[in-house]
Chain A
Amino acid sequence: MVKHTKPNLSVNIGNLVLKNPVMVASGTFGYAEEFSCLLDLKRLGAIVTKTITIKPRHGNLPPRTCETPAGMLNSIGLENPGIDNFIKNKLPFLKKLGIPIIVSIAAEDDPGEFYILVGQLDKISAVSAIELNISCPNMQKNILISQDAKETSALVSSVRKLTRKCLITKLSPNVTSISDIALAAQDAGSDAVALINTLSGMSIDVHKCAPRIGSWVGGLSGPAIRPVAVKMVWEAYNKIKIPIIGMGGIMDIDSALEFFFAGSTAISVGTANFINPGVSLEIISGLEKYMTDNGILNLNNITGKLKACEDLAR
């Protein structure tokens, strides 16, 4: 008799324990309410909220999205109700789900806003982790914090002093070396890095000779960016020791596995939520099946599998 043991899908990200490594990416899942009729939210590994700022933000001028080859551009501009409204009106629903809630936060003008936000969230037990969104491309800024290793380091180390909650730093792919920034985040005390945010992009309607989104330039997401994202996860994995939450065009189990093999401890599903809202659950089932079929009991044996295979071959 062959003994079948169920694979263990749980992972640790800092002091955060996830029952499975599949989460939904910030900005692609709202505050989860819209999805409640479309999938069983309780089965997700974690939910990363749409980014919150101190004050409510109206967001950018429409049109805010457009479809591109195998992808889409967006420039939502961090529309959100502000931290107080979030805590009062959005968090109670999320709390009831009983799964880890990761709150994404951003500063509008001054990095000091992060300290205020973290100070507020630190006191709330329903907040399992905080994701520092220092990589939103739609804030009409010349340079983002995550485009500079020193600034990333300064911010993360300051925030680190304010909370013992799991801290995740979300990185921009619009940089010369993602691993340098990832290293800076790690050394400053981040528990994990999430990569990648969207790639800066633009699309023109040639019939109207006009940009196809209101703010002209936006963030590209979807399968179009997947190879870039996989490569960046791979680069970061080779340089840092903290967990990587990989994302960028994950559409199904195979594309999720690419991110694990490249070095991700967990993954986030983003744009695919708009197209197939139940896709995260399909990926969880697919992961379980993949592990069972290949006799893998622990996710550690998948994370960075590419490197392990390469090392073995040497």
Chain B
Amino acid sequence: MEAAQLKAKIISNKQLKCNYWHLEFDSGIIAKNALAGQFIEIKVNNGIDPLLRRPISIHSVSGTKVKLIYEVIGKGTQILSERKPGDFLDVIGPLGNGFEYKWLTKKLDNRKTILVAGGMGVAPLVFLAGKIKFYRPLVLIGARKKEQVLCSQEFKALGCKVVTATDDGSLGFKGRVTDLLKGFLSENQKTGKPEHIYACGPQPMLKAVVQISCENNIASQLSLETHMACGFGACLGCVVSTKSGYKRVCKDGPVFMGKELIW
């Protein structure tokens, strides 16, 4: 479905915890057309500072509501966090390609699909978990500390099994989420390996996920995050190296097959 530029009314815009915010806006068109893994481009204000739109993953949709989770990290997201319910947001979306999940076998086995989220990477994976909840995916969430573990309740409410890892050990496994993934795969070698790994998070984490999935011969899909100028394929600014040359994260991604990427 093609993207549209529209003015969408903010329903709510609240701080979740730490620097993480949760924003809901009303757009029947985007809610209806959005696929898990797609994103939108927001103009946070009317001025020229900041100049560019901000790309943000769609976290979930319900009815005509579109939900986002974002981290306040710079001027753009700071301004976004100050926008009030009732304001209209200038939005383009939905953009990019979503996750592919139609090929999953229809077995009720929660060991067949693993979602690996690092930090803000939970955002598109919640949307995906909603779409594939029938398979009861295992969700591994990594964060620096307990306070930064996001959305575990949402995943659980969808019937997913959730295991967390924190760098400081303040919640769950102490260490990296990719070590958790490695451990899980070696423990479950005999019970059959998963069919698919979906991941979103910081680049070093994604790189490790690809390495682990390749070593175990498991297909992986990653949602990449990068700075973008346009967000809809025109500027060729947000490219990544793949086995078939440079690809635009915004238009050819943001979801890529792990084995396609060159790091």
Residues of A within 8 A of B240 (CB): 62
Are A71 and B236 within 8 A (Cβ)?
no
Pick from B52, B53, B251: contact of A34, CB under 8 Å: B251
Task: Tell me whether A111 is interfacial, beta carbon within 8 Å.
Answer: no
A65 touches B4 (CB 8 A): no
Interface residue tally on B, bucketed by range: 20 to 34
B73 at the binding interface (Cβ < 8 Å):
no
Q: Tell me the residues in window 31-66 of chain B with beta carbons closer than 8 Å to chain A beta carbons.
A: 43, 48-53
* A37 at interface, CB cutoff 8 A: yes
**In the complex, what residues of A have CB within 8 A of residue B10's CB?**
none
B214 at the interface (CB under 8 A from A): no
Instruction: Report the minimum CB–CB distance from A203 to chain B (whole Å).
Output: 12
Residue of B232, B233, B246 near A62 (CB, 8 A) is B246
Known contacts A38-B92, A58-B245, A274-B229, A69 near B49 by CB under 8 Å: yes
A14 within 8 A of B: no
B230 located at the interface, meaning its Cβ lies under 8 Å from any Cβ of chain A in the complex: yes
A72-80, A124-132, A174-182: which lies at the interface:
A72-80
User: B51, A65: Cβ atoms under 8 Å?
Assistant: no
Which of A34, A63, A76 makes the CB contact (< 8 A) with B232? A34
Point out the residues of chain A lying under 8 angstroms from B4, CB to CB: 37-38
B23 on interface, CB distance cutoff 8 Å? no
Interface size on A, residues (CB 8 A): 35
Q: Which residue from chain A places its CB closest to the CB of B251 in the assembled complex?
A: A34
Q: A65-B238, A273-B230 are in contact. Are A70 and B51 (CB under 8 A)?
A: yes
Are B52 and A273 in contact (CB-based, < 8 A)?
Answer: no
Q: Does B239 contact A (CB under 8 A)?
A: yes
Task: Report if A277 contacts B (CB, 8 A).
Answer: yes
B235 at the A interface (CB under 8 A): yes
A7 at the binding interface (Cβ < 8 Å) = no
Is B5 among interface residues, defined by CB-CB distance under 8 A? yes
Say if the beta carbon of B156 comes within 8 Å of chain A: no
Q: How far is the CB of A10 from chain B (nearest CB, A)?
A: 27
A67 pairs with B227, CB closer than 8 A:
yes
Say yes or no: B234 contacts A274, CB within 8 Å.
yes
Alpha-carbon distance A30/B235, docked complex (angstroms): 7
Q: Mark A60-103, 1 if CB is under 8 A from B, else 0.
A: 00111111011110101001000000000000000000000000
B232 → chain A, closest Cβ, in Å? 5
Chain B proximity mask over A268-291: 1 for CB below 8 Å, otherwise 0: 000101111110000000000000
Interface SS of chain A: helix, strand, loop or mixed? loop
Whether B234 lies near A79 (C-beta < 8 A) is no
The answer, yes or no, to whether A251 is at the interface (CB within 8 Å) is yes
Q: Are B3 and A62 in touch, CB under 8 angstroms? A: no
B48 x A30 contact (CB < 8 A): no
A67 touching B52 in the complex, CB below 8 Å, given contacts A28-B234, A273-B234: yes
Given A63-B226, A65-B237, A72-B229, the answer on whether A275 and B51 have CB atoms closer than 8 Å is yes
A222 contacts B227, CB within 8 Å?
no
**B215 contacts partner chain A, Cβ-Cβ < 8 Å:** no
Residues on B with beta carbons closer than 8 Å to the beta carbon of A277: 5, 92, 232
CB within 8 Å for A37 and B48 given contacts A30-B234, A58-B245 = no
> At the interface, yes or no: B187 with Cβ under 8 Å from chain A?
no
Inter-chain CA distance A28–B50, complex, in Å, is 18
Chain B residues with CB under 8 Å of A251's CB are 48
Q: How far is the CB of A54 from chain B (nearest CB, A)?
A: 18
Closest to A36 in B: B2
Q: Which residues of B contact A70 (CB under 8 A)?
A: 48-49, 51
Q: A28: which of B43, B227, B235, B238 is its contact (CB, 8 Å)?
A: B235
Are A274 and B230 touching (Cβ within 8 A)?
yes
B246 contacts A74, C-beta separation under 8 Å: no
Write the B202-235 contact mask toward A (1 if CB under 8 angstroms, else 0). 0000000000000000000000001111111111
Kindly list chain B residues whose C-beta atoms are within 8 Å of the C-beta of A69.
49
Given contacts A72-B52, A223-B51, A274-B229, A34 and B246 within 8 Å (CB-CB): no
How distant is A286 from chain B, measured CB to nearest CB, in Å?
A: 16
The yes or no answer to A216 lying at the interface (CB within 8 A) is: no
> Which residue in A71, A76, A276 is a CB contact (below 8 Å) of B235?
A76
Complex Cα distance, B231 from A74, in Å, reads 15
* Residues of chain A lying within 8 A (CB to CB) of residue B234: 28-30, 34-35, 273-274
21 CB-based A-B contacts, threshold 8 Å: A34-B234, A37-B3, A58-B245, A62-B240, A62-B246, A63-B226, A63-B227, A65-B229, A67-B50, A67-B51, A67-B227, A70-B49, A71-B51, A74-B229, A271-B51, A274-B53, A274-B231, A274-B235, A275-B51, A275-B53, A278-B5
The 6 closest A-B pairs by CB, nearest first: A65-B237, A37-B2, A274-B230, A34-B233, A65-B229, A30-B234
Additional pairs, 13, CB under 8 Å, beyond known A34-B234, A59-B239 = A36-B2, A58-B245, A62-B241, A64-B236, A64-B237, A65-B229, A67-B50, A70-B51, A74-B229, A76-B236, A273-B230, A275-B51, A276-B43
